Structure 1
């Protein structure tokens, strides 16, 4: 399994960082996870739009799904449109993005598969397990399993014992870390810190931790340091172009 980071900025993109977006590849299958703001140009640096085999969205905030629209436009309005793109999303999470165009315009460009967080299903070679994790809107924590690797991704979440269940024994935990040490009180049930991400990674005995969804302007070195105080295995911060091979022991 291989993970390519397209972006890892929370809330809105910056001049150097797209929002959440990750390309996960295994056995020739390319799964795009969370096409947030500004991720399509990053994707095009690696592949053409017709190279994507499926899309998986954790929740309906635009910094995790807004670039589904230009992706579908690029696929559906080209001279030789590829087959319909399977799009997996919690119920209703993609409604606002899909409503940006008249329904008939992109109707042949995608096939929608809606699920409830907590469901298990297959996407190509990936067994996909999901958990409902606490956020401002329904958010699916995602665990992708192949015969030789496990990748766990929190989406956006606050503290929950289900984060440990999601991450247990994973080769890579891709964890939201909006803040470094402390979340503002009003948002504390719905977001994590780099320090908490490190603690979860340690308790879940994961092989590697990658921090993502940092608030714009956050010093990635400070986030890395906060996580590394609790987690003694490798720690990365999601930056565009970073490629990680995800493999079991």
Structure 2
């Protein structure tokens, strides 16, 4: 299993970083997770649009799904249209982004497979088995746990504190965790977002082997986020920087 970080900026992209976007590959299968703002140009450094085998979206905020639109346009309107792209997302999460174009323009370019992470916990895409958990956010959000060939990657999407996080990341080779703020989340967002310190606490509780912090607020100090996580977690901690390649279990 190989994870390539395409972006990890929270809320909006910066000059140097796209928003959330992660390419996970195993045995020739290419799974794109959360194609947020500015992810498409980064994806094209690695793959042609038609080479993506499936997309999984954790929730409907545009910093996690906006660049699904140019991906589908490229697949539908190119000289050699690609087959329908399987799209996995919580029910209703992609309604806005799929409605950006005139009716019928992207017809046949995707196969929407909506799910409810609270009641349909298990998905599959190629060699990947994907366990989902409903996690608290401003909109319905699905935490993901991908496994293939005995390797595991857990990803939070955006989430507030939840006992389900320890279950999601239990003994995971890599825990990719939202860490919008280093230490404390503002009170109005505390039920719906996480800090690096909390990510470290969840990783320690889960026994995850490696922690990747992502979705940092633009301008936040990455070193401060790592330091905050390390106060709670004794394993390897990094920020998920664009272009980073991680192979869970190695």
Pick the TM interval, shorter chain.
Answer: over 0.9
1:162 — aligned with what?
164
Shift of the alpha carbon at 1:181?
0.4
Hey, what's the Cα distance between the residues in 1 that align with 2:2 and 2:148? 11
Unmatched runs of 5 consecutive residues or more in structure 1: none
2:31 — aligned with what?
31
Hey, what's the Cα distance between the residues in 2 that align with 1:236 and 1:42? 20
Q: Displaced runs of 4+ in structure 1, greater than 6 A?
A: none
TM-score by length of 1: 0.98
Hey, what's the Cα distance between the residues in 2 that align with 1:160 and 1:177? 14
- Is 1:147 matched up with 2:146? no
1:61 — aligned with what?
61
Hey, what's the Cα distance between the residues in 2 that align with 1:170 and 1:55? 21
The equivalences for 1:1-249 within 5 A come to 1-118=1-118, 119=120, 120-247=122-249
Shift of the alpha carbon at 1:146?
1.1
Shift of the alpha carbon at 1:213?
0.5
- Give the secondary structure class of the aligned counterpart of 2:226: helix
Hey, what's the Cα distance between the residues in 2 that align with 1:108 and 1:102? 14
Unmatched runs of 5 consecutive residues or more in structure 2: none
Shift of the alpha carbon at 1:82?
1.3
Shift of the alpha carbon at 1:167?
0.6
Deviates more, 1:68-77 or 1:141-150: 141-150
Hey, what's the Cα distance between the residues in 1 that align with 2:149 and 2:5? 22
C-alpha RMSD of matched pairs (Å): 0.8
Paired positions, count:
248
Hey, what's the Cα distance between the residues in 1 that align with 2:124 and 2:20? 22
Hey, what's the Cα distance between the residues in 2 that align with 1:76 and 1:122? 24
- Give the secondary structure class of the aligned counterpart of 1:117: coil
Shift of the alpha carbon at 1:147?
2.4
Shift of the alpha carbon at 1:85?
0.6
Hey, what's the Cα distance between the residues in 2 that align with 1:69 and 1:172? 29
- Give the secondary structure class of the aligned counterpart of 2:18: coil
1:70-100, Cα deviation, whole Å (9 max, x unpaired):
0000111001011111111100000000000
1:106-143, Cα deviation, whole Å (9 max, x unpaired):
01111100000132121111111101000000000001
Hey, what's the Cα distance between the residues in 1 that align with 2:3 and 2:32? 10
